[in-house]
Amino acid sequence: MMRMETKMPAIHKHPVLARLRRAEQGQDLIEYALLAAMISLVIWALVPYTGYLDSLSHIWNRVHCVLIVYGGG
């Protein structure tokens, strides 16, 4: 039985590109970063509808005032 070999494009024969294609070392970090970004976007999109926006704004205003008074600024 004759085995047919598929020709790989020249770009896949380059050693650096071939190594990057096989590398899975940073894959978990990227997946966790994408998951954190997605969760952050969902929370950011839903906060205005929860009624917490006014209380968050009030908290940040109080923090700002405290920093101005006690921070010298």
Decide: 12 and 21 in contact? Cβ < 8 Å: yes
In angstroms, the CA 30 to CA 2 distance is 42
pLDDT band per the 50, 70, 90 thresholds, residue 40: very high
36, pLDDT greater than 70? yes
More confident residue, 48 or 62: 62
Decide: 47 and 53 in contact? Cβ < 8 Å: yes
pLDDT band per the 50, 70, 90 thresholds, residue 21: low
Query: DSSP labels for 42-64?
Result: HHHHHHHHHTHHHHHHHHHHHHH
Cut 0.85: pTM above it: no
In angstroms, the CA 73 to CA 41 distance is 32
pLDDT at 70: 86
pLDDT band per the 50, 70, 90 thresholds, residue 35: very high
